[in-house]
Amino acid sequence: MLSFLSDYTEGAHPRVLQALAETNLLSLPGYGEDLYCRRAADRLRAFCGDGEADVAFVTGGTQANLLVISALLRRYESVLCADTGHINTHEAGAIEYTGHKVVPLPAVDGKLPAGALAGYLERFYADETHRHMPFPGMVYLSHPTELGTLYTREELRSLSALCRRYGLRLYLDGARLGYGLVSPASDLDMEELCACCDALTVGGTKQGALFGEALVFPRHGMPPHFDTMTKQQGAMLAKGRLLGVQFDALFTDGLYLELSRHAVDLALRLKAGLLEKGLPLYIDSPTNQQFFILDNEALARLREQAAFNLWAPVDEGHTAIRLVTSWATRPESVDALLRLL
Amino acid sequence: MLSFLSDYTEGAHPRVLQALAETNLLSLPGYGEDLYCRRAADRLRAFCGDGEADVAFVTGGTQANLLVISALLRRYESVLCADTGHINTHEAGAIEYTGHKVVPLPAVDGKLPAGALAGYLERFYADETHRHMPFPGMVYLSHPTELGTLYTREELRSLSALCRRYGLRLYLDGARLGYGLVSPASDLDMEELCACCDALTVGGTKQGALFGEALVFPRHGMPPHFDTMTKQQGAMLAKGRLLGVQFDALFTDGLYLELSRHAVDLALRLKAGLLEKGLPLYIDSPTNQQFFILDNEALARLREQAAFNLWAPVDEGHTAIRLVTSWATRPESVDALLRLL
Amino acid sequence: MLSFLSDYTEGAHPRVLQALAETNLLSLPGYGEDLYCRRAADRLRAFCGDGEADVAFVTGGTQANLLVISALLRRYESVLCADTGHINTHEAGAIEYTGHKVVPLPAVDGKLPAGALAGYLERFYADETHRHMPFPGMVYLSHPTELGTLYTREELRSLSALCRRYGLRLYLDGARLGYGLVSPASDLDMEELCACCDALTVGGTKQGALFGEALVFPRHGMPPHFDTMTKQQGAMLAKGRLLGVQFDALFTDGLYLELSRHAVDLALRLKAGLLEKGLPLYIDSPTNQQFFILDNEALARLREQAAFNLWAPVDEGHTAIRLVTSWATRPESVDALLRLL
Amino acid sequence: MLSFLSDYTEGAHPRVLQALAETNLLSLPGYGEDLYCRRAADRLRAFCGDGEADVAFVTGGTQANLLVISALLRRYESVLCADTGHINTHEAGAIEYTGHKVVPLPAVDGKLPAGALAGYLERFYADETHRHMPFPGMVYLSHPTELGTLYTREELRSLSALCRRYGLRLYLDGARLGYGLVSPASDLDMEELCACCDALTVGGTKQGALFGEALVFPRHGMPPHFDTMTKQQGAMLAKGRLLGVQFDALFTDGLYLELSRHAVDLALRLKAGLLEKGLPLYIDSPTNQQFFILDNEALARLREQAAFNLWAPVDEGHTAIRLVTSWATRPESVDALLRLL
């Protein structure tokens, strides 16, 4: 069965696994105090072009989000996001469980428009009763978004400028960051991302690691006692080395972007092929997640031979599907899928 | 200066104050274990027409909401409400601070349409990933709503039926309940409210008490150890008697509804007068909060002689205002306001 | 029946009640923005001898504690207290419900010894794993303590110096503060208390008000957005005036200390009388709570004619009891109790 | 350098790593819905001798503790434990961060005596004010304890009986469970543990896995929607397979107990050797953690050639140290250490 289900259906890229095997018998200090974590942090600083960035590692995306958001917010602050944002839809209320309101704003193509943010902030501070509301403390963006779309440099700068004007922190969830960076549609690089954001994640789980997300706080921006908060939330790995070794491997010899490119190349080949066959786009994504509309009969037939997500009903007879590629996707699988349609 | 600012700008109705004075020197047990609390609870059960209702008292509305909601929800559950609902807009994230997501649904005239609720619940359970979302555990309604509007019997029954079908509790915030009950537009009585809801408040603060809200859990529905949770949230009054004495007075000889009627009568007289003068309604409210649209010049003049809330900008030249009556509003004040316009 | 049950079994002192009655019909802004709250805050600043103190009011003691503690702690910090401290024993886990660990240290006579605090802090920072522990962020003291005892000036200064050396905030729960201030055994005045502490409460509920605690943050120490956090915790009273009016009355013409003196005078008269009759002290308290040991037969007889708390079993045949006086206690009641024994 | 620092300084046992490598390229469903998780759960049920046990997997010990405890407690309940218990000392206030009080009781040899528990519960329910306290909802035990000691069958049965009499759940933290099970001093087997407990963990991190703890709820005792709570706390691994594959390997052909035996055998050989050399025990542990008292000069010399934990100062001239063995400890290292002393 062909699988385009997600970018985390396989284990790790062989070079990541090999690094774990090679370091397996070394006796190393726990809790992220080992040399691999330090080396991986150095590599991420270089990758970010910010020698003063603070870096930490946790095991998963929801964990990263709830930890960063609750560590950077004051208790009377909320986090704003596109209503399609992962923290608003698929994290089981994890942010609220830490005590903070998630304020969803209407998304356009999975993105939070700067205009929507500006409007919210203006109305908030114009409202005489705003001290009876949670204060906007952060903007959460996912990049690429849950719909595979990308913020442009101008969009990100506008959002960042608004955040700074109103005293909000800007946090970018980069669970699939690599797929954005290598996309031909992207005009954003890591320097720009770090310049605009107060915190961001560089995802490993969906980008070739067994598991793990790197947390980057540009310009020494990690809040004090972040490690204690990490422990407090059950997010500190005893064998922190596992994260260090994996990210060290991913950021050696350009593996991270190489894997990202592989996936995006195949996704765009798939997209071109499907467009050629006349399938309508559900949304125009330039990254490793592709969204097309199928009529339900074709859909039923396709599901017998390929695994993928049903994204949303479109009308009585049509459904949007999501097709995802990863480092593990083989070109032949793309060709095979195209032949099926 | 005339005041139509709110229904809590004065202290208590004289009979409430008198009851406090008369019982002042009695030595009574603390924490709500006194005879006045018991008697007030009995009177509320009679008022509700539910001899098996559990009753408790707390000092304010936000406190009532956060306590009832967090006591009735399981930790993985969310509360659904109209996006204009008080818990979503003006309680400083109090519900989220207890760990629960507030899910706002699009309101119509300040009310949550049963259709919007049904749609959300259907989509929720149809979504294969719904275990990654907080489960809908409760519906929150305010009645009258923040816009002075009222649910009809049919609307409430539909919402209640949906809640039961999907295992949600239905909670009605009655901070201004009396003004709804006496409104000529209302076809709901307490029996019906209690039959439909799992918990409701009967507001005192905005209805003639110094402070205080009664919490009613029909059909022995108070969750076990509710008093401990009340204490845990700092909501247990040492001199619980103060709440008992006030509610005892409010529910003696029909005072509660008498005061409600006074306020609604004056509000409707004000409404009729303003309509007669050609002022457009912002929303058609049958209760003690009235919403009209003023042009900004008239508004500026009026603000010199009367106090009231600016509710929302309508367009460049017009603004919606809110005018509120209470037990303390004098008929002459209504006449005076009408003369000003 | 004589009552020495507690200092909150009656309502309010008549002058407090009168002030509420006199201001009852005034139309005033809500949420503590009225002139009585401002005036009461001024009076408290004068009382504290700190013209830069920030002042707020809430309805009860547990509410005050959970609000101040959670507002002043960072999320990875704990609060240290005597193991007999109210927050550790009788507040239903309210502090923990806000996410913070309460670390109990062994009390001596209801007080936290500076030595115990110093020892804890030294061990904490000497422990190489202390980043895996919640950081000590605050010391909580009650003064008078739950056992009626008082910190001396030297004890308080030592605790305060330790707090400053280690970066802890010092918070003093003064639910019964007046009874401490007027005690002949006290060498502490408000200036000293404010100089030593980062936050303190001046209790009203047990000191002649209907209800209410004043929160004092010396030297402009109120955390930013404290009012929003108050609302978030359901602790903001719509008719904030009720707190302002009461504290204004209590701090007019020295009423607060006058009532405190009345209660302490009677308590010490009771103590002297009981000692004269040969009853052994359970603990030597110089304030309005007295603790004596009774044999269980005398206890049984006494309970038929007087109300008071059983404090703790002492041995098979003896029990410690607590006798409390207040502004409402009459001298004749003390004499009557003495005659009963 | 010899290392006796801990049982998590190396990666995983080679057979565990091999299983990860062999399954690496399989395309499997996420979030623990794969066949390896199911198979591992089956193996754990067999290991527990409880075919009806519910099983789940998370990545680490603190995560396991905070998730199980907060999922099984009602919001007004506390968890009781030995004051040396890990949740009370080294988890950064993680339990309190979920809103629950940890009530420490005086430990004896790292264990919670049934007598201490019984005394607490009797005093709690005898106290007339107990509704103002968090209700005891759970007992937390670690087995082996933080000091390497073991509960006996009789001790565990007494604790379990008390829990059932008073309505508490009994939770056993088995981060090092295997080392307890194989200890010659143990009279407890898995059947007994499961019969006595409502939840327990079977640790992987310190027992040969890369990471991971199995959560076992005997007799279908997993609370409803546990997976949603897992997600809510950021504890759900996208590639849940990683946990399934590892536990599947650990519980195939008796590997788990084989590795435990290896470590305990070496620990006891080390203990015998040190006793023979006249070193005094700090505590008498029959498991893989050994505690000895060294004079500080010997200590300084030893630290140059071996890594281990300083546990506690004993007196001016002596310090207790902890020596830990694991699956990765080689017999030659034990011999080498013995030669050094």
What average pLDDT does range D163-182 have in this prediction?
A: 98
Mean pLDDT of chain D: 97
Q: What percent of chain C has pLDDT over 90?
A: 99
* Partners of residue C225 in chain A, C-beta under 8 Å: 74, 76, 131, 135
DSSP letter at C41 equals H
Angle at D60 between CA D59 and CA D66, to 5 degrees: 110
- CATH value at residue D303: 3.90.1150.10
B170 three-class SS: strand
Same domain membership, residue C122 and residue C65: yes
* Partners of residue A78 in chain B, C-beta under 8 Å: 93, 96
Q: Could you tell me the pLDDT band of residue D108, with boundaries at 50, 70 and 90? A: very high
Same domain membership, residue D229 and residue D126: yes
* Partners of residue B90 in chain A, C-beta under 8 Å: 129, 132-133
In angstroms, what separates the C-alpha of B98 from chain D's closest C-alpha?
Answer: 9
Domain's final residue, options B231, B250, B269: B250
| Whether the Cβ atoms of residue B186 and residue B160 lie closer than 8 Å to each other | no
Please give the pLDDT value at position A149. 98
Please give the pLDDT value at position C128. 87
Whether the ω angle into residue A286 lies within 30 degrees of 0, i.e. cis, is no
Same domain membership, residue A203 and residue A130: yes
Please give the pLDDT value at position B341. 85
Please give the pLDDT value at position C341. 85
Contact B89 A134 (CB under 8 A): no
Write the residue in D25, D63, D91 that is nearest to A11 by C-beta: D25
Distance CA D292, CA D273 (A): 12
Which segments of chain A have a pLDDT < 50?
Answer: none
Same domain membership, residue D263 and residue D230: no
Smallest CA–CA distance from A25 into chain D, residue = D10
Distance CA C317, CA B62 (A): 49
Mutate to test the interface with B, among A128, A132, A303 (most CBs of B within 10 A): A132
As given in the structure block, the two tokens for residue C245 are 């009016």
Instruction: Specify the length of chain A in residues.
Output: 341
In angstroms, what separates the C-alpha of B131 from chain D's closest C-alpha?
Answer: 6
User: Which chains have 3+ CB pairs within 8 A of A?
Assistant: B, C, D
How many contacts, defined by CB atoms under 8 Å, are there between C and D?
Answer: 59
Domain enclosing residue D26, as ranges: 14-250
How many contacts, defined by CB atoms under 8 Å, are there between A and D?
Answer: 150
Contact A229 C134 (CB under 8 A): no
DSSP letter at A108 equals B
Contact B76 D134 (CB under 8 A): no
Distance CA D218, CA D49 (A): 10
Same domain membership, residue B316 and residue B259: yes
Q: Could you tell me the pLDDT band of residue D1, with boundaries at 50, 70 and 90? A: confident
Query: How do residues C27-54 score in pLDDT, each as one tens digit?
Result: 999 999 999 999 999 999 999 999 999 9
DSSP letter at B183 equals -
Write the residue in A71, A74, A228 that is nearest to C135 by C-beta: A228
Contact A24 D5 (CB under 8 A): no
Cβ neighbours of B300 (radius 10 Å):
11
Same domain membership, residue C273 and residue C214: no
In angstroms, what separates the C-alpha of D47 from chain B's closest C-alpha?
Answer: 29
| Whether the Cβ atoms of residue A199 and residue A68 lie closer than 8 Å to each other | yes
Nearest to B63 by CA among B176, B177, B212: B212
**Helical (H) or strand (E) element with C15:** helix C14-22
Residue D291 burial by CB count (10 A; 0-12/13-18/19+): exposed, middle or buried? Answer: buried
DSSP letter at A49 equals T
pTM of structure = 0.97
Same domain membership, residue B192 and residue B164: yes
For chain B, report the end-to-end CA distance as a whole number of angstroms.
15
Same domain membership, residue C91 and residue C116: yes
Query: How do residues D122-150 score in pLDDT, each as one tens digit?
Result: 999 999 899 999 999 999 999 999 999 99
Distance CA C221, CA B87 (A): 30
Domain's final residue, options A223, A250, A277: A250
Distance CA B297, CA C217 (A): 44
Q: Which segments within chain C are labelled E, that is strand?
A: 2-3, 54-58, 77-82, 102-105, 135-142, 169-173, 199-203, 213-217, 281-283, 289-295, 306-307, 309-315, 318-324
Query: How do residues C78-92 score in pLDDT, each as one tens digit?
Result: 999 999 999 999 999
Same domain membership, residue C190 and residue C288: no
Angle between helical axes of C241-250 and C255-276 (0-180°, round to 10): 60
Contact C76 A134 (CB under 8 A): no
Same domain membership, residue C319 and residue C173: no
- CATH value at residue A116: 3.40.640.10
Number of domains in chain A: 2
Same domain membership, residue A209 and residue A267: no
List per-residue pLDDT tens for chain B, 341 residues long.
Answer: 899 999 999 999 999 999 999 999 999 999 999 999 999 999 999 999 999 999 999 999 999 999 999 999 999 999 999 999 999 999 999 999 999 999 999 999 999 999 999 999 999 999 989 999 999 999 999 999 999 999 999 999 999 999 999 999 999 999 999 999 999 999 999 999 999 999 999 999 999 999 999 999 999 999 999 999 999 999 999 999 999 999 999 999 999 999 999 999 999 999 999 999 999 999 999 999 999 999 999 999 999 999 999 999 999 999 999 999 999 999 999 999 999 98
As given in the structure block, the two tokens for residue D93 are 């206030």
3-state SS record for chain D: CEECCCCCCCCCCHHHHHHHHHCCCCCCCCCCCCHHHHHHHHHHHHHHCCCCCEEEEECCHHHHHHHHHHHHCCCCEEEEEECCCHHHHCCCCHHHHCCCCEEEECCECCECCHHHHHHHHHHHHHCCCHHHCCEEEEEEEECCCCCCCCCCHHHHHHHHHHHHHHCCEEEEECCCHHHHHCCCCCCCCHHHHHHHCCEEEEECCCCCCCCCEEEEECCCCCCCCHHHHHHHCCCCCCCCHHHHHHHHHHCCCCHHHHHHHHHHHHHHHHHHHHHHCCCCEEECCCCCEEEEEEEHHHHHHHHCCEECEEEEEEECCEEEEEEECCCCCCHHHHHHHHHHC
* Partners of residue A232 in chain C, C-beta under 8 Å: 75-76, 134
Q: How far is CA D44 from the centre of its chain?
A: 16
What average pLDDT does range C289-296 have in this prediction?
A: 97
| Type of residue numbered A23 | T
Domain's final residue, options A217, A234, A250: A250
Please give the pLDDT value at position D12. 98
Write the residue in B78, B90, B310 that is nearest to A93 by C-beta: B78
Smallest CA–CA distance from A79 into chain B, residue = B93
Same domain membership, residue D52 and residue D75: yes
